[in-house]
């Protein structure tokens, strides 16, 4: 068991850290609410081979394990939260869904422009009546000859206004086995996007209205019996979001460490007070514990092992830790921590929504308990 990355894994992580701190950090906290894509940053990551590093080599990627991509995501997010958030969708999102489950034609069409940052994907699972109860989704897809016709409404689709394509979970038949996934161009006739809504981070989300929207049947990724495979791919996507929040929270932790030595009260640095020391230590312990659980989950996924319980545990601890660390850093900064002049409240608003996105902490705890007792809980029966 080796706890330190070596070889190419270390090189990619260190390169991501250096580039992100040198090139992205200087403007990372300017115009904080502007969440439009950091296209220049994404292009640079693509040129350096970081953006597509874990996608297959034959389609323009680097062919590296997912662990490499996710360690890089953590460093990119540490340098620039907005770039990290946007790189995430390429480095662990639909690209890896397509690499795993796509046809040869789909891989050739969709993966290369992701690696070069020319195209972007969003992902759409949630519906107005199907959030935690994802398998209740109703958005309907029907294959008619060479076409696939879609009808229904999706919600909470992050960043869809900036995406070229959307990976959409849809229903081909009744029951949880009837769920599949399709690849939809944003300009597909019959698809309308709502005006943007905003998360507390400033990031945008959209409703999607499908009214006899028609795509080629060749853009069906999985035409049913897919929920298990889709959720397995989503386990890894979730780990990407976890390392993203840890990278962002590390900024708040750094700020707290610096502040406790520079801020003096009662004639001494506030670091001298034991209650401040306890806060610092608790933040560090929780961050390290979160990292270990996440890295283990990702490494197990790279070995082809199922990670449902690991990724749920990694998700709960990483997202709750990141919120706690940003919140505690605000407390340590006293009145300054409550001011918009520092980026701390924004860092908190960047990480807090992740306790909900990707499945709430409650449902992940329920899944962990389910694995522990060895039976599925039927949430419909109480
Ligand atoms: C920042 C952000 C980005 C997002 N991006 C996307 C995206 O790009 N694409 C997408 O499809 N979706 C996205 N979502 C939506 C997200 O997946 C849902 O918000 C999430 O799954 C919860 O669904 P809901 O909001 O309908 O809450 P609900 O399911 O209505 O839950 C409400 C509350 O009830 C609790 N609850 C519900 N059922 C249970 C249960 N069985 N046991 C215990 N507690 C339960 C929940 O934990 C929660 O506290 C995003 C959300 C956020 C916050």
Ligand 1 nearest-atom number relative to CA 356: 53
Say what the pLDDT of residue 12 is: 98
Contact 60, 112 (CB under 8 A): yes
- Cβ–ligand 1 distance for 132 under 6 Å, the answer yes
Give residue-wise pLDDT tens across range 242-292.
Answer: 999 999 999 999 999 999 999 999 999 999 999 999 999 999 999 999 999
Q: Sign (positive/negative) of CA torsion 179, 185, 190, 191? A: positive
CA 279 to centroid of chain Cα atoms: 27
pLDDT tens-digit map of 4-61: 899 999 999 999 999 999 999 999 999 988 888 899 999 999 999 999 999 999 999 9
Contact present, 80 and 41 (Cβ < 8 Å): yes
The pLDDT of residue 171 is above 90: yes
CA-nearest residue for atom 27, ligand 1, is 131
Compute the distance between CA of residue 94 and CA of residue 76 in angstroms, rounded to an integer.
19
262 vs 382, more confident? 262
Name the closest-CA residue to atom 48, ligand 1: 360
| Ligand 1 center to 355 CA (angstroms) | 9
| Block residue for tokens 């270990």 | 292
Quick check: pTM over 0.75?
A: yes
**Among protein residues, the one whose CA lies closest to atom 3 of ligand 1:** 357
Measured between alpha carbons, how far is 364 from 246 in angstroms, rounded to an integer?
A: 18
Ligand 1 lined by 124 (C-beta under 6 Å)? yes
Shortest-distance atom of ligand 1 to CA 201 = 1
Distance 301 CA to ligand 1 centre (A): 24
Which residue, by CA, sits nearest to atom 26 of ligand 1?
131
Alpha-carbon distance of 248 to 224, in angstroms, equals 37
Shortest CA distance to 202 belongs to which of 338, 352, 39? 352
CB 156 within 8 A of CB 144: no
pLDDT of residue 192: 98
Contact 315, 359 (CB under 8 A): yes
233 or 322, higher pLDDT:
322
Cβ(12) – ligand 1 distance below 6 Å: no
158 lines ligand 1 (CB under 6 A): yes
Q: By alpha-carbon position, which residue is closest to atom 37 of ligand 1?
A: 132
Dihedral-angle region of residue 285 (phi above 0 means left; psi in -120 to 50 means alpha; beta otherwise): alpha
Closest C-alpha among 186, 181, 148 to residue 165:
186
**CA 252 to centroid of ligand 1, rounded, Å:** 26
What is the rounded CA–CA span in Å between residue 148 and residue 170? 11
Cα of 363 from ligand 1 centre, angstroms:
9
């Amino acid at each position: 068991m080796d706890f330190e990355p070596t070889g190419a894994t270390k090189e990619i992580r260190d390169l991501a850290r250096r580039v992100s701190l040198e090139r992205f950090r200087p403007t990372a906290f300017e115009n904080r609410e502007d969440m439009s894509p950091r296209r220049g940053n994404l292009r640079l990551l693509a040129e350096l081979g970081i953006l597509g590093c874990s996608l297959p080599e034959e389609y323009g990627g680097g062919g590296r394990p997912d662990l490499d991509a996710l360690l890089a995501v953590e460093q990119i997010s540490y340098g620039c939260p907005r770039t990290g958030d946007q790189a995430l969708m390429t480095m662990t999102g639909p690209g890896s869904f397509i690499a795993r489950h796509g046809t040869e034609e789909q891989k050739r069409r969709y993966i290369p422009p992701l690696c070069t940052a020319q195209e972007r994907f969003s992902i759409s699972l949630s519906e107005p009546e199907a959030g935690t109860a994802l398998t209740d989704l109703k958005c309907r897809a029907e294959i008619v000859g060479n076409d696939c016709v879609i009808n229904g409404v999706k919600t909470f689709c992050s960043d869809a206004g900036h995406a070229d394509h959307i990976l959409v979970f849809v229903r081909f038949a009744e029951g949880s086995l009837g769920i599949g996934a399709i690849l939809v161009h944003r300009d597909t006739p019959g698809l309308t996007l709502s005006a943007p809504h905003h998360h507390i981070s400033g990031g945008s989300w959209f409703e999607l209205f499908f009214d006899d929207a028609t795509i080629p049947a060749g853009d069906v990724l999985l035409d049913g019996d897919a929920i298990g495979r889709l959720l397995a791919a989503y386990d890894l996507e979730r780990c990407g979001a976890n390392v993203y929040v840890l990278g962002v929270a590390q900024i708040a932790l750094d700020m707290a460490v610096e502040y406790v030595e520079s801020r003096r009260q009662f004639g001494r640095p506030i670091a001298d007070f034991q209650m401040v020391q306890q806060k610092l230590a608790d933040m560090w312990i929780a961050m390290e514990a979160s990292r270990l659980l996440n890295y283990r989950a990702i490494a197990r996924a790279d070995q082809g092992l199922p990670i449902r319980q690991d990724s749920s545990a990694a998700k709960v601890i990483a997202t709750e830790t990141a919120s706690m660390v940003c919140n505690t850093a605000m407390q340590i900064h006293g009145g300054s921590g409550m001011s918009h002049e520092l980026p701390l409240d924004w860092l908190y608003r960047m990480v807090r929504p992740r306790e909900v996105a990707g499945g709430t902490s409650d449902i992940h705890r329920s899944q962990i308990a389910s694995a522990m007792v060895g039976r599925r809980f039927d949430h419909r029966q109480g």
